[in-house]
Protein backbone atom coordinates (compact mmCIF):
# COMPACT_ATOMS: atom_id res chain seq x y z
CA UNK A 1 0.00 0.00 0.00
CA UNK A 2 1.25 3.46 -0.79
CA UNK A 3 0.07 6.95 -0.02
CA UNK A 4 0.52 9.78 -2.43
CA UNK A 5 -0.42 13.39 -2.73
CA UNK A 6 -1.41 15.14 -5.90
CA UNK A 7 -0.64 18.82 -6.20
CA UNK A 8 -3.58 20.73 -7.64
CA UNK A 9 -3.04 22.89 -10.69
CA UNK A 10 -3.44 26.66 -10.54
CA UNK A 11 -6.63 26.30 -12.58
CA UNK A 12 -8.11 23.79 -10.10
CA UNK A 13 -7.23 26.00 -7.13
CA UNK A 14 -8.60 29.12 -8.82
CA UNK A 15 -11.88 27.33 -9.53
CA UNK A 16 -12.11 26.27 -5.87
CA UNK A 17 -11.42 29.82 -4.68
CA UNK A 18 -14.08 31.21 -7.07
CA UNK A 19 -16.64 28.86 -5.50
CA UNK A 20 -16.02 30.22 -1.98
CA UNK A 21 -18.01 33.00 -0.38
CA UNK A 22 -16.12 36.15 0.61
CA UNK A 23 -16.14 35.01 4.24
CA UNK A 24 -14.78 31.57 3.31
CA UNK A 25 -12.13 33.15 1.09
CA UNK A 26 -10.99 35.39 3.95
CA UNK A 27 -10.72 32.44 6.33
CA UNK A 28 -8.88 30.37 3.72
CA UNK A 29 -6.48 33.24 3.10
CA UNK A 30 -5.73 33.56 6.82
CA UNK A 31 -4.96 29.84 7.06
CA UNK A 32 -2.79 29.89 3.96
CA UNK A 33 -0.89 32.92 5.25
CA UNK A 34 -0.13 31.06 8.48
CA UNK A 35 0.88 27.87 6.65
CA UNK A 36 3.16 29.82 4.30
CA UNK A 37 5.20 31.41 7.09
CA UNK A 38 8.82 30.31 7.22
CA UNK A 39 9.47 27.77 9.95
CA UNK A 40 12.63 27.80 12.06
CA UNK A 41 15.48 26.44 10.00
CA UNK A 42 13.37 26.37 6.84
CA UNK A 43 12.27 28.79 4.22
CA UNK A 44 8.66 29.46 3.33
CA UNK A 45 6.71 26.59 1.80
CA UNK A 46 6.37 27.33 -1.91
CA UNK A 47 3.13 25.37 -2.32
CA UNK A 48 1.35 27.34 0.40
CA UNK A 49 2.74 30.59 -1.02
CA UNK A 50 1.39 29.67 -4.46
CA UNK A 51 -2.06 28.97 -3.01
CA UNK A 52 -1.99 32.22 -1.03
CA UNK A 53 -1.08 34.14 -4.19
CA UNK A 54 -4.04 32.61 -6.04
CA UNK A 55 -6.43 33.34 -3.17
CA UNK A 56 -5.27 36.97 -3.11
CA UNK A 57 -5.72 37.20 -6.89
CA UNK A 58 -9.30 35.96 -6.50
CA UNK A 59 -9.95 38.54 -3.79
CA UNK A 60 -8.58 41.34 -5.98
CA UNK A 61 -10.61 40.07 -8.95
CA UNK A 62 -13.80 40.28 -6.90
CA UNK A 63 -13.10 43.59 -5.22
CA UNK A 64 -11.22 45.66 -7.76
CA UNK A 65 -13.00 48.83 -8.69
CA UNK A 66 -11.71 48.69 -12.23
CA UNK A 67 -8.89 51.19 -11.67
CA UNK A 68 -5.50 49.60 -11.80
Is 3 a domain residue? no
Q: Is residue 46 part of a domain?
A: yes
Q: Picking from 13-17, 22-26, 45-49, which range would have the lowest pLDDT averaged per residue?
A: 45-49
Q: How many domains does the chain have?
A: 1
- Give dist(CA 28, CA 19) in Å, integer: 12
Residue-number span of the structural domain to which 38 is assigned: 10-62
> Which pLDDT belongs to residue 18?
98
In a domain, 57, yes or no: yes
Closest among 3, 27, 15, 7 to 54, alpha carbons compared: 15
User: pTM for the complete prediction?
Assistant: 0.82
Amino acid sequence: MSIGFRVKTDEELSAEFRALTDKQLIETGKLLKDFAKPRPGQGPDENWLRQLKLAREEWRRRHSNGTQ
